[in-house]
Structure 1
Amino acid sequence: MCNISMYHERVGLTKGIQVGELKALTTSVKRLLEHQLSIEEAFALLGIEKEMQTKIRKQLTTAYIKEMKSNRS
């Protein structure tokens, strides 16, 4: 039983690290976009891989939609 709990702990830790990395990279890309870089330039400058680029684009789109909805209220 101990092995099962260790497995779940390891999976949770890995997931948490991935979420934290996505959040940090998304924040960095947003800051570069605010300084008039294109999203492609920001990705290249930060050396972000294609798979992570897709996730960051999704995060930025979701954040933009939420921002637009809150501005309408």
Structure 2
Amino acid sequence: MGEFDDYWARAYRGDPAVPHSDPQRLISTWTGAFALGAAACVHHHVSGLASNINWQDMTMMLDQKRWKKILDKKQQQA
């Protein structure tokens, strides 16, 4: 083996001095990375959906409905 192999082979043999060689840490690291990636993906898609809503048109429609109800109520009282 060369010098490079001697340096890096310890990490793959389960050397306790190498932090990522413990199988439990490896699983928890990949689980955390997957969870973080999923959360980032979901947040990206949710924020994209929220930005596609035209808030000005929606508020104008709600305002129009509110005024229509008020005018109908006034006509029924008169």
Range into which the TM-score falls when normalised by the shorter chain: 0.3 to 0.5
* TM-score, normalising length: structure 1: 0.42
- 1 or 2 for the larger relative contact order (CA 8 Å, sep ≥6)? 1
Greater per-residue helix proportion: 1
Structure with larger Rg:
2
TM-score of the pair, normalised by structure 2: 0.39
